């Protein structure tokens, strides 16, 4: 029991220490920005495409591209992440995800550009799913990464919520002819978010988080509080 108490206290203290650091929230914010960008394009693509006259066959191709990218690109990227580490691919994905918003801003009604932008956004989604969890695990450790990754994921999912609400507001206040302009604004904002995310990730390093001092302090607290007793064994 005593070793279990020590382990549990150490884990809680580690997590408290991590979420109190600027580094953790910088990484969380970078993921929020990326999620905001690709979730708006992917979440509204079919509806918006139908409104502006993108061919129905093209919209069906978009769904096939999404499934194909997840099946093919996911394992392939996982292989390279295992060989080279996830950070470099997080940076690359944040740069690549700048492209769809720019293309859709200036070539909104072009069917081919629409498909290409959608595919690039899907690749960004795959990169996020493939790279974030291993990176958190590398930095903070396996046990702590479960809770820390969950906290970061909740923060990132705010991007999904915001984009859903924004799309609903656009559909409520703008008619079919007017809705292109606010979408173009959102696309360029998404590209800007990806640029900021890339800048934030450039400050990130592969260095593991140092728990050593905190662990010593935790052990001292356990001894001081009288946790080493016969009844605890």
The domain spans of the chain are 1-21+213-233, 24-208
**pLDDT attached to residue 42:** 81
**pLDDT attached to residue 216:** 46
The residue with greater pLDDT, 218 or 137, is 137
Residue 6 has pLDDT above 70, yes or no: no
Give the model's confidence band at 188: pLDDT under 50 very low, under 70 low, under 90 confident, else very high: very high
The encoded tokens of residue 218 equal 């935790």
d(CA 141, CA 151): 15
Lowest mean pLDDT among 51-55, 135-139, 162-166, 215-219: 215-219
Give the model's confidence band at 66: pLDDT under 50 very low, under 70 low, under 90 confident, else very high: confident
How far, CA to CA in Å, does 191 sit from each of 19, 171, 185? 28, 22, 10
**pLDDT attached to residue 185:** 92
Mean per-residue pLDDT of the chain = 80
**pLDDT attached to residue 103:** 92
Residue 51 has pLDDT above 90, yes or no: no
**pLDDT attached to residue 201:** 93
d(CA 203, CA 217): 29
What is the value of pTM for the model shown?
0.80
d(CA 227, CA 3): 10
Q: How many angstroms from the chain centroid is the CA of residue 19?
A: 17
Lowest mean pLDDT among 44-48, 59-63, 105-109, 222-226: 222-226
Span 205-221, pLDDT tens digits: 888 888 775 444 444 44
End-to-end CA distance of the chain: 5
Mean pLDDT of 29-55: 81
Percent of the chain with pLDDT over 90: 18
**pLDDT attached to residue 215:** 47
Domain 24-208 has CATH 1.10.10.60: no
């Amino acid at each position: 029991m005593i070793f279990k108490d020590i382990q549990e206290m150490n884990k809680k203290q580690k997590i408290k220490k991590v979420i109190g650091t600027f580094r953790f929230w910088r990484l969380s914010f970078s993921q929020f920005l990326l999620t905001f960008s690709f979730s708006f394009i992917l979440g509204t693509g079919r509806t918006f495409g139908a409104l502006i006259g993108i061919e129905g066959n093209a919209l069906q191709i978009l769904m096939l591209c999404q499934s194909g990218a997840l099946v093919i690109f996911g394992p392939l990227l996982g292989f390279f992440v295992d060989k080279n580490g996830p950070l470099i691919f997080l940076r690359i994905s944040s740069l690549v995800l700048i492209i769809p918003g720019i293309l859709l801003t200036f070539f909104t009604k072009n069917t081919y550009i629409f498909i290409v932008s959608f595919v690039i956004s899907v690749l960004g989604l795959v990169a996020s799913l493939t790279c974030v969890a291993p990176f958190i695990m590398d930095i903070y450790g396996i046990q702590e990464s479960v809770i820390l990754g969950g906290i970061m994921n909740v923060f990132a999912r705010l991007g999904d919520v915001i984009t859903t609400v924004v799309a609903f507001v656009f559909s409520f206040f703008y008619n079919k002819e007017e809705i292109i302009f606010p979408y173009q604004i959102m696309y360029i904002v998404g590209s800007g978010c990806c640029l900021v995310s890339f800048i934030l990730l450039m400050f990130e390093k592969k260095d593991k988080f140092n728990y050593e001092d905190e662990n010593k302090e935790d052990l001292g607290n356990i001894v001081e509080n009288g946790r080493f007793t016969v009844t605890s064994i």
